[in-house]
Amino acid sequence: MKSLKSYIIFPIHFVLQMTNLGLWGMLIVCFGIIRFLIPIKPVGKLLLAIMHWFYCTFSVISVGMIKFFNNIHVEIKVDETLSKEKWYLIIANHISYLDIILLIRFCASHTSPPKFFLKKELIWLPFVGIAAWALDMPFMRRYTQDFVAKNPHLKGKDIETTRKSCAKFVDSPTSVINFVEGTRFTPDKAKLRQSPFSHLLRPKAGGIAFTLAAMGEQFSNLLDITLAYPDNSGHPMRDMLSGEMTHIVIDVKVLPVTDEIIGDYFESAPFRERFQVWLNELWVNKNERMKAWMNG
């Protein structure tokens, strides 16, 4: 049962977090509109750098508030030195909306500015779509095999569209984040989808393979990030807002981007099989690490 203290903390912390999000989000949108109205490359580059600062400052303040309201130990493990001047493809498990804030904060300190790959439909989502557009986040358009079969002239256009989207920030090192499971993990979802993993959903190989096919040659490394809330696995976001979060783990494995993981996933059956084996091995190891933390 929650303590009286947690019921007092929750509304205060929630309002402060929403105010922080609204303030920096509004600034990003306003500067994005100015950038759109003044299509001069040096000006646009400066404005985007300022918006990235807003974006990262939001995460710094948000995590600062999390630490203020929670007696918390944030454990960050990185097996190699990272650089703000390099391109990274980040693949991560997904447990809570809190993951997004933590990943932005991690990148603010360790890597180039983070961008999330988003579905094309999300551009119409109020506020979120506009802010993502302002930050030049790439929107993916993925055609199904049946659709391509009926419209053969569109074959390969989905990857080409993503390449063009990524060309907007080709001159600036970027960290592209992909939640490979496609949705947040819950025990019910794991059971429904017959996941073979105790703490993860099955990874969806198509999205990350698509990203690598679109812009794999730009990435310096792939970062396999495992997020865990060992003492608060049930409701991390609620516990965090209530002042009951105690332990966060962010474990980062730095992997090479090799030719073996760049190919035509949707047309080449041999490559698709090899890629699935590679990704599943990552997920097996990730699940073992999570077991150790959860049982520790």
Share of the chain above pLDDT 90, in %: 55
Task: Check whether 66 has a pLDDT greater than 50.
Answer: yes
Q: How far apart are CA 139 and CA 127, in angstroms?
A: 15
With pLDDT > 70 as the criterion, what percentage of the chain qualifies?
85
Residue type, 174: T
Rounded to the nearest integer, the mean pLDDT of the chain is 86
Q: What is the mean pLDDT of residues 73-79?
A: 93
Calculate mean pLDDT across residues 128-155: 66
In DSSP terms, 118 is beta-bridged to 139
What's the pLDDT band for 161 if we cut at 50, 70, 90? Answer: low
Q: Which CATH number describes the domain made up of 73-295?
A: 3.40.1130
Structure tokens given for 5: 């203290």
Question: Is the confidence at residue 242, as pLDDT, over 70?
Answer: yes
Residue boundaries of the structural domains of the chain: 73-295
CB atoms within 10 A of CB 161: 19
Least confident of 8-17, 162-171, 187-196: 162-171
CA 100 to CA 66: how far, in whole Å? Answer: 14
pLDDT reported for residue 137: 81
Beta bridge partners of residue 116, listed in sequence order: 177
